C-alpha cells in the first residue's frame, strides 16, 4: 500500500542531465546536472548525492554535494558533511557544524517580493 504524501525519490544510481520540475516533495540521492525547480515543495539532497545544478524550491535540505545556486522561498538547511559551492538566496539559512559552504548569501528574498508589488502610501506614512 503506497503512502499518499510520501516524497518522490531519485535513487542513487540514477543520472539526470537536464531540467527536473515538479510540484511534490523530492528526495534526490543520485546525480543531476542542469536545474531542479520545485517552487512549492521541499527538496532534499541525500548524503550520497552529487548535484551540479541550480536548485529552486520552497525549502531545501542539503546533506550531499551541490555545485550550483540555491533559491528557496522558505529555508535552506546545510547539514554536517555537506559540500555546497554556489550562492544561497532564501528567507532563512541554517548551517550545521562541519558543513562546507563557499558562496554568497542573500537573506532578503522576502523583501524583494514586497518591492515588486506597488504600494499606495497611507495617510501620515513617511515615503
- Per-domain residue ranges of the chain: 8-105
pTM: 0.82
pLDDT at 97: 95
Q: What is the DSSP string of the chain?
A: ---TTPPEEE-TT-EEEEEEE-SS-EEE-SEEEEEEEEEEEEEEE-TT-EEEEEEEEEEEEE-SEEES-EEESSEEEE-TT-EEES-EE-SEEEE-TT-EEES-EE--HHHHHHHHS--PPPTT---
Q: Tens digit of pLDDT for each residue in 30-71? A: 999 999 999 899 999 999 999 999 999 999 999 999 999 999
Amino acid at each position: 500500500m503506497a503512502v499518499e504524501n510520501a516524497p518522490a525519490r531519485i535513487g542513487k544510481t540514477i543520472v539526470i542531465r537536464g531540467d527536473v520540475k515538479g510540484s511534490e516533495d523530492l528526495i534526490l540521492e543520485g546525480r543531476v546536472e542542469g536545474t531542479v525547480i520545485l517552487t512549492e515543495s521541499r527538496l532534499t539532497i541525500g548524503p550520497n548525492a552529487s548535484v551540479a545544478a541550480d536548485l529552486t524550491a520552497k525549502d531545501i535540505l542539503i546533506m550531499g554535494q551541490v555545485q550550483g545556486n540555491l533559491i528557496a522561498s522558505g529555508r535552506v538547511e546545510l547539514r554536517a558533511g555537506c559540500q555546497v559551492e554556489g550562492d544561497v538566496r532564501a528567507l532563512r539559512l541554517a548551517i550545521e557544524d562541519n558543513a562546507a559552504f563557499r558562496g554568497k548569501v542573500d537573506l532578503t528574498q522576502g523583501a524583494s517580493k514586497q518591492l515588486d508589488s506597488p504600494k499606495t502610501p497611507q495617510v501620515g506614512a513617511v515615503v
